Amino acid sequence: MTKFKVVDSFAANGTSLRGYVKTTYSDLVAIFGEPQRGGDKTTAEWVVTFGRGKDKVVATIYDWKEYETPMGEYNWHVGGHDFMASVLVSEVVAEYQSMVCEELSAE
């Protein structure tokens, strides 16, 4: 599985929308843990990093202008400093969903 680290929201400074990932709140919690916060225009947000040093990619996953946290399938916003944030978050979510499907088919 793609390695990542959940980090303090301070790392998200200067990020902006880079893409979307279609998944559920429960999948995001299973992957990244409970959301770190909601903000002025979000109800749930995660901040994660991939890689190390100057190659580190910062990504944010969040809802946008929702009155309540979306629990069903939703196009979660992915922010970052560049497009790789969206690519890496989508990769982690796809890996998790594939693993869950494999486990269900093995039962």
Q: Provide the residue ranges of all domains of the chain, joining segments of one domain with +.
A: 5-106
107 pLDDT band, cuts 50/70/90, is: low
Which secondary structure element, helix H or strand E, spans residue 105, and what is its range? helix 84-106
How does pLDDT run across 31-89, given as a tens digit for each residue? 999 998 777 889 999 999 998 777 899 999 999 999 899 999 999 999 999 999 999 99
Q: What is the mean pLDDT of residues 83-107?
A: 86
Residue 40 and residue 10: Cα distance in Å, rounded? 16
> How much is the average pLDDT of 1-30?
91
Q: 60-82 burial string, b = 16+ CB within 10 Å, else e?
A: bbbbeeeeeeeeeebebbbbbbe
pLDDT given for residue 2 in this prediction: 79
Query: What is the mean pLDDT of the segment spanning 15-19?
Result: 95
